[in-house]
Amino acid sequence: MNQIPFPEIIQSLPQLTDLVAAEQPDARQIVYHLETDKVDIYYATYEAGITIDFHSHTTDNFGVVTEGGFTLIMDGKEQSFGVGDWYYIPANKIHAARFDEDTVDVEFRLKENN
């Protein structure tokens, strides 16, 4: 992924850099974060070859793939998502992800009690 696929206004948001860096220091992932009182929005790029180990979030998460695709592993099943596909990860659900191609997505993490 040679070019950042987001407009300048998105690139001006705070950037998170340590999401996979500790486990995969050579992997290239870029995540911009927009926080509101009801939802956190993550504009993310994932380089082919990145894997995200099993983990969970305290929020319900919805996301849409805008480039590439990835595999979500949840409940012992693998499900592939491509461009235009929406995915849902319930709060506290253990899951993992694998990116076999360069991928861009936008994820919405709904805050509790909203």
pLDDT bracket for residue 26 (50, 70, 90): low
Whole-number pLDDT of residue 29: 79
Residue 22 scores a pLDDT above 50: no
What the chain holds in terms of domains, given with CATH numbers, is 12-110 (2.60.120.10)
Q: What is the three-class DSSP state of 10?
A: helix
Q: How many CB atoms lie within 10 A of CB 102?
A: 18
- In 3D space, the residue among 91, 86, 16 whose CA is nearest the CA of residue 57 turns out to be 91
In this predicted model, which residue has the larger pLDDT, 19 or 62?
62
Reported as a single tens digit per residue, the pLDDT across 78-103 is: 999 999 999 999 999 999 999 999 99
